[in-house]
C-alpha cells in the first residue's frame, strides 16, 4: 500500500476527480513502470535474447510513457484535461502493445507473465480514468 | 549541433524513416524538454508567482511528455508505429497547450517568450513526423 | 503491495543482492517519487506559495533522482556497483534534504508531513542497501 | 545550438554560477542522454547482441542519470548545492563507466565510438561544474 491515497486526501483543493479512482490509476502506473523496467532487464538476462528484442524495447517504451502519464495525472492544480486525455490515450496504447508482446512470451517466461498482468491492469485503470474524464 | 544525427547515421539497420526529419524532431524534443524545465524554474523565481502556477505545471507536463516521446521515437529496433503515433499525438497536444500558456506571459516575461517558441517548434516537428508516419 | 517482489523472484539469474532488501528499496523509491510529485503540486495549490518554492524544487529534484535510482538498481544484468553506489549516495542526500524541508512545513501542511515520512523511509532504505553493497 | 543559454540569460535572478559553464554542462547532459538512448537501441539491432548487454544497461543507466542531473542543475531557485554535488558526482561515475564500456566496442561499432565521445564530454563538463561549485 502506497502513500498516494493519503497524499490525494491531503491535497488542499478539490481534486476534480474521484479520489479512489485516481489513486488506483497512479498506483497501477507506478507498478507498471517498475515492472516494465525489471522485465526489460530480465529479458536481457535470458539465453534467447535475440527473440526478446521487441519485448525489451516495448518494456522501455511502456516504462517511460507510464512514468510521464503518472506525473501529468498527479498535477491537479490548474489541471488541463486537454493534455491529460491524449496522454491517457497514448498510455493505453503502449500498455496494450506491451501486454500483447509480453503475453506471447508468458507461457515460457514467468517474468513476462507477471509483466503482462501489470500492463493489462494499468491499461484497464487508464481506460476507466479516461472514461471518467470524458 | 548535437550528436543525434551522427548516431542515427551509424544505426546498423534501416531506420524506417527519413533520417533528417527524425534527427530534427529528436533535437526539437530535447530542446523543448530542457527549456520547459528551465521555464518552470524561472516562473518560480518571479514575484508574480501566483499568476504563473498554470504555466509551471504545463511546463512540467511538457518536459515529461517530450522526454518520453524522445525515447520512444529513438527506439527504432522493432519500432511499433501503433505506439509512436498516439505518443506523438499526445506530445503535440501538450506542446500546444504549453506554448499557448507561455505565449500569454511572453510580452512581459522573456523566458516564457523563449519557451513558447521552443514548444511551437517542437509541436511543428512532431506534426511533420506524425504526417510522415501515417 | 506491488509486483516488484514477484518480478525479482522471477529474474532468470542470481540477483547478487538480498531479494527482500532490494524489493523494499525499489518500493520505497517508487513511493517517494510519487509522493514528491504530488507534494510539489499540493504546494502549488497553497495560498502561501511564496514560502514553499524551496519545497517545490526539492520535491521535483527528489522525484527525479528517486526515479533514476530505481531504474539503475532495477538493472541487475551486468550490474555495475561502481555506478550504483554513487547513485545511492546522491539519492540519500536528496531524500534527506527534501525530508528536512518538508519536515519544516509538516506542522501546518499535512501533505508535507506525509511526504517527509516517505522521504525518510526512502533515505533509510537506500542507506541499508548501500551498506549491503559496500 | 540549443535555447538553453537564452533561457539562462533570461532567468529573473542571479544564477549563482557561471552562465556559460552551466549552459555547456546542460547541453552536454542532454546530448549524452539522447546519445545513450540511441546507442542502447543500436546495440539491440546488432547481430552480436549477447556481447553488448552490459553496454545496453550502462547506456540506459547513463541516460537516466544524465536526465535527472540535468533537471537538478536546471533548478536554480533556492538551489541546494548539498543536493547538486552528490548528483554531479554520481553522474561523473556513470558517464565514466559508460564511456569505458562503449570505448571497448568503439573500434568495430561506430555508434559506440560516437557515444563514448559524448559520455567523455559530459563527464568532463560535469567535473568542471563540480569544481566550480566546491
Per-residue pLDDT of chain A (134 residues; tens, 9 = 90+): 579 999 999 999 999 999 999 999 999 999 999 999 999 999 999 999 999 999 999 999 999 999 999 999 999 999 999 999 999 999 999 999 999 999 999 999 999 999 999 999 999 999 999 999 98
Q: What is the SS3 assignment for C39?
A: helix
Nearest to C89 among D72, D79, D86 (CB): D86
CA distance D39 to chain C (A): 17
Q: What is the pLDDT of residue B1?
A: 54
Chain A CB contacts of B83 below 8 Å = 58, 61, 65, 93-94, 97
Q: What pTM was estimated for this model as a whole?
A: 0.98
Size of interface B-D (CB pairs under 8 A): 116
Q: Do D50 and A53 touch (CB under 8 A)?
A: no
Say if residue D1's pLDDT is above 80: no
- pLDDT score for C132: 95
Check if D77 contacts C (Cβ < 8 Å): yes
Nearest chain D residue to C63, by CA: D68
Rounded Cα distance between C59 and C72, Å, is 20
> Which residues of chain A make contact with B100, given a CB cutoff of 8 A?
none
Q: Which of residues 47-76 of A touch C (CB under 8 A)?
A: 63, 67, 70-71, 74-76
Between chains, do A65 and B60 touch, taking CB under 8 Å as contact?
no
Across the range B85-92, mean pLDDT stands at 98
Residues of B in contact with D115 (CB under 8 A): 7
Of the candidates C41, C49, C57, which has its C-beta nearest B49's C-beta?
A: C49
Q: Residue D52: its chain C contacts at CB < 8 A?
A: none
The CB density around residue D31, as the number of other CB atoms within 10 Å, is 25
* C40-92 confidence digits (pLDDT tens): 999 999 999 999 999 999 999 999 999 999 999 999 999 999 999 999 999 99
Q: Categorize the per-residue pLDDT at B47 as very low, low, confident or very high, splitting at 50, 70 and 90.
A: very high
pLDDT single digits (tens) D35-61: 999 999 999 999 999 999 999 999 999
Of residues C41, C45, C57, nearest to B44 (C-beta)? C57
- pLDDT for A2 equals 78
Helix (H) or strand (E) holding A71: helix A53-74
Q: What is the pLDDT of residue B120?
A: 98
CB distance B31–D75 less than 8 Å? no
- Residue tagged 521552443 (cell numbers): B118
Mean pLDDT of D20-48: 98
Nearest to C44 among B41, B45, B56 (CB): B56
The long-range contacts involving C72-75, CB below 8 angstroms and separated by at least 24 positions, are C72/D61, C72/D64, C72/D65, C72/D94, C73/C22, C73/C25, C73/C26, C73/C29, C73/C129, C74/A34, C74/A37, C74/A38, C74/A41, C74/C26, C75/A37, C75/A41, C75/D57, C75/D60, C75/D61
Of the candidates D10, D34, D63, which has its C-beta nearest B110's C-beta?
D10
Angstroms from D1 CA to nearest CA on chain C: 25
Give chain D's end-to-end CA distance (angstroms, integer): 28
**Contact: B3, D117; criterion CB under 8 Å:** yes
Residues A25, A2 contacting (CB under 8 angstroms): no
pLDDT digits (tens, 9 = 90+) for A68-102: 999 999 999 999 999 999 999 999 999 999 999 99
Q: Where are the alpha helices (DSSP H) in chain B?
A: 4-9, 19-44, 53-74, 81-105, 110-132
C80 touches chain D (CB under 8 A): yes
Which has the closest alpha carbon to B39: B58, B65, B64?
B58
Which pLDDT does position A1 carry in this prediction? Answer: 53
CA distances from A126 to A29, A77, A112, A114, A134 (A): 8, 20, 21, 19, 12
Chain D environment of B110 (Cβ under 8 Å): 10
Percent of chain A with pLDDT over 70: 99
Rounded to an integer, the average pLDDT of D87-93 is: 98
D interface test, pick of B14, B39, B42 with most D CB neighbours within 10 Å? B42
CB contact under 8 A, D117 and B42: no
CB contact under 8 A, B83 and A97: yes
Which of B67, B77, B87 is opposite residue A90, by nearest beta carbon? B87
CB contact under 8 A, B4 and D110: no
Average pLDDT, chain D: 97
- Angle in degrees, CA B61, D70, D113, rounded to 5: 115
- Through-space distance between the first and last CA atoms of chain B, rounded to whole angstroms: 28
Amino acid at each position: 500500500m502506497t502513500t498516494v491515497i493519503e497524499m490525494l486526501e491531503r491535497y488542499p483543493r478539490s481534486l476534480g476527480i474521484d479520489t479512489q479512482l485516481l489513486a488506483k490509476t497512479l498506483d497501477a502506473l507506478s507498478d507498471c513502470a517498475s515492472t516494465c523496467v525489471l522485465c526489460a532487464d530480465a529479458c536481457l538476462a535470458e539465453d534467447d535474447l535475440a527473440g526478446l528484442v521487441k519485448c525489451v524495447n516495448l518494456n522501455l517504451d511502456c516504462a517511460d510513457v507510464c512514468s510521464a502519464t503518472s506525473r501529468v495525472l498527479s498535477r491537479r492544480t490548474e489541471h488541463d484535461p486537454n493534455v491529460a486525455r491524449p496522454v491517457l490515450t497514448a498510455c493505453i496504447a503502449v500498455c496494450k502493445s506491451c501486454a500483447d508482446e509480453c503475453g506471447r512470451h508468458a507461457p515460457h517466461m514467468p517474468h513476462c507473465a507477471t509483466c503482462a498482468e501489470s500492463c493489462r491492469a494499468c491499461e484497464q485503470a487508464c481506460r476507466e480514468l479516461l472514461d471518467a474524464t470524458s
